């Protein structure tokens, strides 16, 4: 397997975050922030805006990088290796915060994105939050606002493409 880079979006409603819910496997339900693969030549910030729009058909504003997780994991008898850029953002429309469930699309599959409290994942073997390390990142003292992340990008794709 090759390296994979993805951008994932933390959207908050009070103490809840919006998460894609995967089907139950072996008594465990897995959750992940909405987002996906960064396309070749695309920066991670543009990717998170695009992925949220593509997957749950909503617009977001003020995406802010809050962390990066290097995730190495077993993947069908191989080693998976990905870099997950974790962003926090807000909905453009305040009405989106009133929705309980978002019907999403990832490729040819549909999914539900639901609001979950971060505390639901504390010492709960029934729920798993991925990528590994995300729970610890968000639960750290001060939460996602504990530290500023310096994000340097050598190219602005839009400016690069227009040359």
Q: What is the pLDDT of residue 150?
A: 65
pLDDT of 157: 46
CB 140 within 8 A of CB 118: no
Residue-range domain boundaries for the chain: 3-161
Give the tokens for residue 67: 């962390």
Residue-level pLDDT at 72: 85
DSSP bridge pairs for 30: 128
Strands (E), the chain: 3-13, 16-21, 29-37, 60-75, 78-91, 101-106, 109-117, 127-129
Which pLDDT value is given to residue 2? 76
Q: What span, in angstroms and rounded, lies between the C-alpha atoms of 52 and 101? A: 14
pTM of the model: 0.86
Q: Which residue spans within 2-77 are E strands per DSSP?
A: 3-13, 16-21, 29-37, 60-75
Q: Which residues contact 123 (CB under 8 A, 6 or more apart)?
A: none
Characterize the bridge pairing of strands 29-37 and 127-129: parallel
End-to-end CA distance of the chain: 33
**The pLDDT of residue 107:** 86
pLDDT at residue 160, as a whole number? 45
Cα distance between residue 138 and residue 151, in whole Å: 19
Q: Specify the pLDDT at position 152.
A: 63
Q: Which residue has the tokens 């729970």?
A: 135
Taking the chain (163 residues) in consecutive chunks of 10 residues, what is each chunk's mean pLDDT? 90 97 95 97 97 98 95 85 96 98 93 97 94 91 56 53 49
CATH of 3-161, one of 3.65.10.10, 3.40.50.700, 1.10.10.10, 3.90.79.10: 3.90.79.10
């Amino acid at each position: 397997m090759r390296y994979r880079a993805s951008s994932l979006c933390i959207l908050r409603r009070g103490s809840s975050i919006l998460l894609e819910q995967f089907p139950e496997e072996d008594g465990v339900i897995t959750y992940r922030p909405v987002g996906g693969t960064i396309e070749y030549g695309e920066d991670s910030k543009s990717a998170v805006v695009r992925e949220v729009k593509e997957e749950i058909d909503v617009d977001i504003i003020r995406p802010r990088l809050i962390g990066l997780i290097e995730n190495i994991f077993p993947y069908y008898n191989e080693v998976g290796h990905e870099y997950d850029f974790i962003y926090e953002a807000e909905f453009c429309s305040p009405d989106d915060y009133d929705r309980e469930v978002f019907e999403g699309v990832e490729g040819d599959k549909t999914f539900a994105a639901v609001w979950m409290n971060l505390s639901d994942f504390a010492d709960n073997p029934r729920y798993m939050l991925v990528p590994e390390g995300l729970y610890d990142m968000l639960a750290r003292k001060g939460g996602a606002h504990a530290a500023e992340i310096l994000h340097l990008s050598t190219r602005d794709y839009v400016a690069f493409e227009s040359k």
